[in-house]
Chains A and B, each alone.
Chain A
């Protein structure tokens, strides 16, 4: 196992691995941070608990990825240094993760889209990869499978519920659809890691995502929007205006005294 992990590592550059760990860690962190904003605002106490569970899973995953990234980098940055002391332009999360909570329909759609993507990606990483990244992916994959089920059930319920809930879903879908394309755009770093067997082929992830999501949307009686605008760049550090507000709030206490231990 250790030898195999070493071999996998040697096939990929540490700088590339650092980058992918940040991308996955930051997406989980920003999405978890936003999801935690539902606390005490949920439509029922049960849903409040469920959303907090999912936010906890995501932040737990972020901690594992960021801790790994920090150790790979070897410059003494731990999970908190990475989470609290980087500027927006240094964050590598996908744009989908920084889209606003909106109403409950939009939150559930965002969760369905992200969780379906993350589950397929992590399953591929677990199957093909070796070493610590594959181990984190294996743990996260099990959690994301549950998020897919929960979010999927709610999207169906809301899409096929009342006129109002259907309309809200369709509006949320239109707002979020442009941001799903970025998930499947492989840049040079991704391509090197795919070639090294660390990441699965993005086309395969996309096929699995489309099959799974379109079946949910069909049961929800929701129409898939046209593919027109396809913003990207979050995973390379080009974000929407929103991210700096999310970070401004999240980092405020930690940055008030960088030397303090909390």
Chain B
């Protein structure tokens, strides 16, 4: 892998110029080791988030209240599995193996989006996740379609198309509830109350505290700051909540005439860091579920390998 070779100052300068001029980097190109390392971390975290993200929504497949909602939800969770696969493939172009990355998820050394460490307590949470969590994901991910690393940018184009479909489906589910019975409206409001702040926190810590931001922006892995993206999401979502007739759970929320943006009250960063450090309501549950599935499937994977070896031996005997 060329990226693992130390480059000269000239290589570094040429790389910076290329990326700075919006040039794309492909797997065979020389790249600084730190650039590759950052991408592996970011792409694999994203892949892990898709895989872990199957759990909170998968939780409601068996109980979806209509067959139409059931197939929509199943197809959505299936898309997430597919996104996980494209992203693992994009990461593999940087010289790591999927097994290695999956192992990091299982042993708890890799991170994934903290949003999936919150529980889905009612059917309305399926709508709230589609509307808010996928909505936030799109705001985060659309710029990545233009990021400097080609395989990542291309994977994101397809993922964003599917995510925007999911977001519309989630919004439509919330609309059905908010136009429904009093109990359904309460369910929708309760889901918004629980998912609003975690969604706002999905963009990561405020710009001043974000450790990787500066270099990543120079390398065009990140095109906008956490706070810029967060603001975009807030402005977009406040209007949508209004259309749904739901109330954003923030007494300090106000429209700032001077900037033309909605301003939220104080974000509880202690909660954010606590969930990141493993103390969210479902961190242990999500990881245990993934480990159980992995361990329960070990004999299947071993059988597939053993069968393939037998088949190879059989065709070698035939050829001989």
Closest CB in chain B relative to A78 CB, distance in Å: 10
Closest CB in chain B relative to A8 CB, distance in Å: 27
Selected contact of A162 from candidates B70, B74, B176, B299, CB within 8 Å: B299
Contact A158 B77 (CB under 8 A): no
The secondary-structure label for the interface of chain B is helix
What total of chain A residues lie within 8 Å of the partner, measured CB to CB?
A: 49
Closest CB in chain A relative to B43 CB, distance in Å: 15
Closest CB in chain B relative to A40 CB, distance in Å: 4
Q: Give bound CA distance, A59 to B200, whole Å.
A: 36
If A45-B81, A52-B78 touch, whether A161 touches B180 (CB-CB below 8 Å) is: no
Is A1 close to B, CB under 8 A? Answer: no
What total of chain B residues lie within 8 Å of the partner, measured CB to CB?
A: 45
Q: Which residues of B contact A53 (CB under 8 A)?
A: 78
Q: Which residues of A contact B78 (CB under 8 A)?
A: 39, 49, 52-53, 56
If A40-B293, A165-B300 touch, whether A260 touches B180 (CB-CB below 8 Å) is: yes
Contact A160 B64 (CB under 8 A): no
Q: Which residues of A contact B66 (CB under 8 A)?
A: 80, 84, 254, 262
Contact A40 B54 (CB under 8 A): yes
- Stretch from A135-143, A233-241, A245-253 forming part of the interface with B: A245-253
Q: Which residues of B contact A36 (CB under 8 A)?
A: 61-62, 70, 74
Q: Which residues of A contact B242 (CB under 8 A)?
A: none
Contact B74 A157 (CB under 8 A): no
Contact A55 B176 (CB under 8 A): no
Selected contact of A259 from candidates B54, B82, B123, B181, CB within 8 Å: B181
Contact A261 B176 (CB under 8 A): yes
- Stretch from B9-17, B152-160, B303-311 forming part of the interface with A: B303-311
Q: Which residues of B contact A259 (CB under 8 A)?
A: 181
If A39-B77, A160-B310 touch, whether A60 touches B71 (CB-CB below 8 Å) is: yes
Q: Which residues of A contact B184 (CB under 8 A)?
A: 257, 260
Is A179 close to B, CB under 8 A? Answer: no
The 8 A CB mask of B285-307 against A (1 = contact, 0 = none) is 00001001100111111111011
Q: Given known contacts A257-B181, A260-B184, what 13 new A-B pairs fall within 8 Å (CB)?
A: A40-B54, A40-B55, A41-B292, A41-B293, A43-B298, A45-B84, A45-B85, A46-B85, A47-B297, A79-B67, A157-B304, A161-B304, A254-B66
Nearest first, the 10 A-B pairs at minimum CB distance are A43-B297, A161-B303, A165-B303, A43-B300, A253-B65, A262-B65, A40-B54, A52-B78, A254-B65, A39-B58
